[in-house]
Chains A and B, each alone.
Chain A
Amino acid sequence: MFNATVPEEGRIRLSGRFDAAQVEKARAVFDQIKDSTTVDFAELDYISSAGLGILLMTQRRLRESGKSLKLINMNKHIGDVFQYAGFDRIFEIT
């Protein structure tokens, strides 16, 4: 089961499976972001291109005002997806 929670200001915690069925749920959280934010992937097991799309559009919107998303604690599988998509050049990933 997918979840996107905001444990504190400037931080989003993702968990479960971020697939195409979760886009609206995720968008409701990511559309609220106005400042630079750290997205914690530690409990996220899976992401597809639908999830990548939400992150890409959020990053584009934030960059217009000089802000950005920082992505942390990705597992290897998800890290590979970001690399194949070229998203390791679009996001700060640590």
Chain B
Amino acid sequence: MEKKFRKDFSSLESIDEFVRSFAAGHALDENMVFTLNFVIEEIFTNMVKYQPSGRNDVSIDISGDTRALRIRMTDYGVDYFDPTTAPPVDTGKPITERKPGGLGVHLVRKYVDEFRYEYLGSDSVITMVKKLKA
């Protein structure tokens, strides 16, 4: 199931509707809806914030079976930007040393089982795989 979204924070509500539509068709529970929404939003907002030069829409493709879900997000016509290499966040630091930056990718790593980046032509492609419990 694939759809393109305008590269703007205002798309997040339509992305939620898209996720819920996919979840309804695949009998996914509210926990999985939350996870899908979360990891997609974190990557989408990274694309909005760090690749504003690309004005094309962002494509989100969710597919899967009973074993795993695959989320593929494509940001067209942008510079190379690989969020999968972001350094880990030290969550044990005291509050005075904690910063919001980098937290999104840190949390994506917690939720998904695979997190990959490809630069194809001039397109940034993020693929995330979430295994499903049997």
For the complex, count residues of B whose C-beta is within 8 A of A: 29
A70 at the interface (CB under 8 A from B): no
B45 at the interface (CB under 8 A from A): yes
- Complex Cα spacing A20 to B10, Å: 9
B9 at the interface (CB under 8 A from A): yes
For the complex, count residues of A whose C-beta is within 8 A of B: 23
Minimal Cβ-Cβ distance residue in A for B39: A48
Cross-chain contact A20 with B106 (CB below 8 angstroms): no
A40 at the interface (CB under 8 A from B): no
Minimal Cβ-Cβ distance residue in A for B108: A49
B24 at the interface (CB under 8 A from A): no
Q: Which of A46, A52, A56 sits near B37, CB closer than 8 Å?
A: A46
A11 at the interface (CB under 8 A from B): no
B95 at the interface (CB under 8 A from A): yes
Chain A residue contacts of B37, Cβ below 8 A: 46
Cross-chain contact A59 with B95 (CB below 8 angstroms): yes
Cross-chain contact B45 with A20 (CB below 8 angstroms): yes
A27 at the interface (CB under 8 A from B): no
B25 at the interface (CB under 8 A from A): no
Cross-chain contact B31 with A56 (CB below 8 angstroms): no
Cross-chain contact A86 with B92 (CB below 8 angstroms): yes
A53 at the interface (CB under 8 A from B): yes
Chain B interface residues toward A at CB < 8 A: 9-10, 12-13, 16, 30-31, 34, 37-38, 41-42, 45, 48, 89, 91-93, 95-96, 98-100, 103-104, 106-107, 110-111
